[in-house]
A and B are shown apart, each in its own frame.
Chain A
Amino acid sequence: MNKVTLYDSHKKLNAKFAPFAGWDMPIQYQNVKDEVLAVRNAVGVFDVSHMGEFFVEGPDTYAFLDYLLPNDISGAAMGKAIYSPLCREDGSIVDDLIVYKLDAEKALVCVNASNIEKDFLWFQKFLKGYNCTLTNQSDKYSLLAIQGPHTIQTLKKLGWDDADLGLEYYACIERADYIIARTGYTGEDGFEIFCSHQFVQELWDKLMELNVKPCGLAARDVLRLEVCYPLYGHELSDEVTPLDSALKWTIKSQKNSYVGKEALEKYKPKSKLIKLTLEKGIPRADYNVLNDKQEVIGKVTSGTLSIILNQGIAIARVDLAKANQSSLFYVAIRDKLYEAKETKKPFVTGGHL
């Protein structure tokens, strides 16, 4: 099992650990609820060093990424971060990722820890003919996500560079010791800092001295689900396309070509993701979802108790035709059916820029 650089620091804080994508990761420190509330109302820090970092470098960096990914990478301004699915020719999703446009000949691509090897092979397959190199530098980088409305004031107290703190939402910049981006997975304002293992220890220790709340992957999952961000392996998988997964906005049909374009242009979605709230009961992944005729029409992909709403929330994948005729849904929890209301907006609106 892989250990993050800060493993001993987490251990000292009495973190509970669990295996995640081959890493022994801190799941929670004291209390998930307090960690979620710290990020919504103040500031928290996540060690997400398990995430993968690829670098694409050379004159054809953006031509390559633009062909590989459905979203518009070339058209985005230098210094921007772009979220995109990574698709196969048939439109199915290999992974979802963020491209950070560091300079005209260098991009960082941050991928899910569980998919590093699969993604790298997929990237390599299309590299031929492009004048750029691809390297997997996941082992060299630690990653901290500092998230919450007090992020800026906290980093100011550390004497952090004002130019970095002035970054726009989904913008990034590379410095000598780190790459910083105004991105995150919580819906709140915040930064993600990719850095060396030595730098991460110093930064973590300073954040702890300022009483920034250490937050684990459990709180991170609640936070992302409250604002309805998808998670690979749950909402997204090898079995579905972006068009089945509320990611139509990431597919740029005006692009001349990209991997999966032909398939996606012809594709008719069979299922869709819906958002459900429950007055009673906590929905969990794989629980059956039923329509008003009490027919099983799909399954919960992610579910939890929302800390902010104090009620059960779920994203579910349901059969398109059977769901569209229904105004009422049920989630089967153990042997009982619990009423679930569909909502169109995210459960919680985060405070990001």
Chain B
Amino acid sequence: MSLNIPKNLKYTTDHEWAKLENGIVTVGITDFAQSSLGDIVFVELPEVGTKIEKGTSFGVVESIKSVSDLYSPVTGEVVEKNSDLESSPEQCNSEAYNSWMIKIKVAKPDQFEELMAPSAYEEYCQNSH
């Protein structure tokens, strides 16, 4: 299986991708995640202003047959959510890395550095088969 893992992002063990720009972490789910889930038909995201903790659930993605939690890669406050995904959840399948879900004003920037680098994530995916 060839994996689509962009080099400019960091990754979680729960298959979220994260990007840090000016103290804001943008979060979505990886190509591996969307492919394992199958047809994504529903996305539930937190409201702007919600405080979230690293490793805790901030929302869900649902395929026709399953419900999966989304886990925050960092601690902070939600400053933006991608409402487009709530009306067009299938974007998560077709463009996983353009389908960002939330932007978090990060409270502890070190937490971003602790996330997996692309090479480590690739190895992680290959071992999780």
Contacts and interface: CB of A to CB of B under 8 A. Distances in A.
Bind each other: yes
A96 interface: no
Nearest to B62: A282
Nearest to A32: B64
Interface string A293-328: 000000000001101000000000000000000000
A33 B67 contact: no
A289 interface: no
Given A16-B38, A32-B38, A304 B60 contact: no
Interface in B35-84: 38-39, 41-42, 44, 60, 62-65, 67
Most buried by A among B41, B64, B67: B64
A282 B44 CA distance: 11
A284 B65 CA distance: 9
A32 B39 contact: yes
A232 to B, nearest CB: 18
A304 B67 CA distance: 11
A142 interface: no
A304 B65 contact: yes
B64 A304 contact: yes
Contacts of B67: 282, 284
A334 B62 CA distance: 13
Taking residues whose C-beta sits less than 8 angstroms from the other chain, chain B's interface range is 10 to 19
Contacts of B60: 334
Contacts of A28: 38, 65
A111 interface: no
Consensus secondary structure, chain A interface: mixed
Most buried by B among A16, A27, A31, A305: A305
Taking residues whose C-beta sits less than 8 angstroms from the other chain, chain A's interface range is 10 to 19
Interface in A168-185: none
Contacts of B64: 32-33, 218, 222, 304-305, 307
A16 B66 CA distance: 14
A301 B65 CA distance: 14
Contact of A33 (B39, B42, B44, B62): B39
Nearest to B35: A16
Interface in A31-49: 31-33
Nearest to B90: A33
A31 B94 CA distance: 13
Contacts of B62: 282, 305
Contacts of A304: 64-65
Contacts of B63: 32
A33 B41 CA distance: 10
Interface in A266-305: 281-282, 284, 304-305
Contacts of A334: 44, 60
Most buried by A among B38, B44, B65, B67: B65
A282 B39 CA distance: 14
Contacts of A222: 64-65
Nearest to A221: B65
A15 to B, nearest CB: 12
Nearest to B36: A16
Nearest to A34: B39
A222 B65 CA distance: 8
Given A32-B64, A33-B64, A222-B64, A305 B38 contact: no
Contacts of B39: 31-33
Contacts of B65: 27-28, 32, 218, 221-222, 304
Contacts of A218: 38, 64-65
A31 B41 CA distance: 12
Given A304-B64, A305-B42, 6 more contacts: A31-B38, A32-B39, A282-B41, A282-B62, A304-B65, A305-B41
A-B CB proximity, top 8 nearest: A32-B64, A218-B65, A305-B41, A305-B64, A33-B39, A282-B62, A282-B42, A32-B39
14 contacts: A16-B38, A27-B65, A28-B65, A32-B38, A32-B63, A32-B64, A32-B65, A33-B64, A221-B65, A222-B64, A282-B42, A284-B67, A305-B41, A305-B64
